[in-house]
Amino acid sequence: MRTLVVDHPLVSHKLTALRDAASDTATFRSLTAELVTLLAYEATREMRVQPVSVTTPVGVARGVKLARPVPLIVPVLRAGIGMLDGMTRLLPMADVGFVGLRRDEESLVASTYADRLPADLTGRDTFVLDPMLATGGTLATVISMLTNRGAASVTAICLLAAPEGLRHVEAAFAGDGTPDESSREPWVRVVTAAVDERLNDRGYIVPGLGDAGDRLFGQI
């Protein structure tokens, strides 16, 4: 598993505003979408392409188009839904699947309550959207669901990550996440705007940004 921390002034600026407890829901939503689009730019860097030619008004240009099958975007319910707009802005041709996991507040162990994924993901690039990589239990489960169905790559886009969560996912997916066409091993990567200090005893990232789902959609 490979981790990329996107070190860019615009990303840091937007993340700082997102963390601010004074940012209201509307601001939080629009910052999330903008941040995801910036992270997605880096997260899609290794997508497979195929050569094509197009006729311009003055000649023929050689270029590329994204290889088929089209990528699959997987927002993890519920907070991942808040990241979907920012991602589809960059990949409007992608399919979208959904996964829902519930975290037991005592044990912090996640169990699946929704699985709307294609049965066969052979050869597909997949992008998991989950704003907070906390313990890593949820993300490790979702990555396994995708690799077990044959995904060629799994790239998780997280606004923030905790060191504990990264260690958990790294231990579960030991490869180095480097693209290798000759290998049948899926590439697993995490792209995030920052790695924070730690988790607190309730499983929240410190300093983090609080409960991403609540800040996006309200406390229900």
* Residue 179 host element (H or E): none
Residue closer to ligand URA, measured from CB, 72 or 209: 209
Residue closer to ligand URA, measured from CB, 53 or 107: 107
Q: Are 218 and 25 in contact (CB under 8 A)?
A: yes
Site for ligand URA (CB under 6 A): which residue of 132, 143, 159, 191? Answer: 132
Strand pairing report for 95-96 and 187-195: unpaired
Cα distance between residue 71 and residue 94, in whole Å: 5
Cα distance between residue 54 and residue 63, in whole Å: 7
Site for ligand URA (CB under 6 A): which residue of 11, 72, 134, 143? Answer: 134
219, with CB counted inside 10 A (0-12, 13-18, 19+), is exposed
Residue 216 CB, nearest approach to ligand URA (Å)? 9
Q: x/- string (CB under 6 A) for ligand URA, residues 200-219?
A: ---xxx--x--xxx------
Cα distance between residue 100 and residue 209, in whole Å: 21
Q: x/- string (CB under 6 A) for ligand URA, residues 58-97?
A: ---------------------x------------------
**Contacting residues toward ligand URA, per CB under 6 A:** 79, 132, 134, 203-205, 208, 211-213
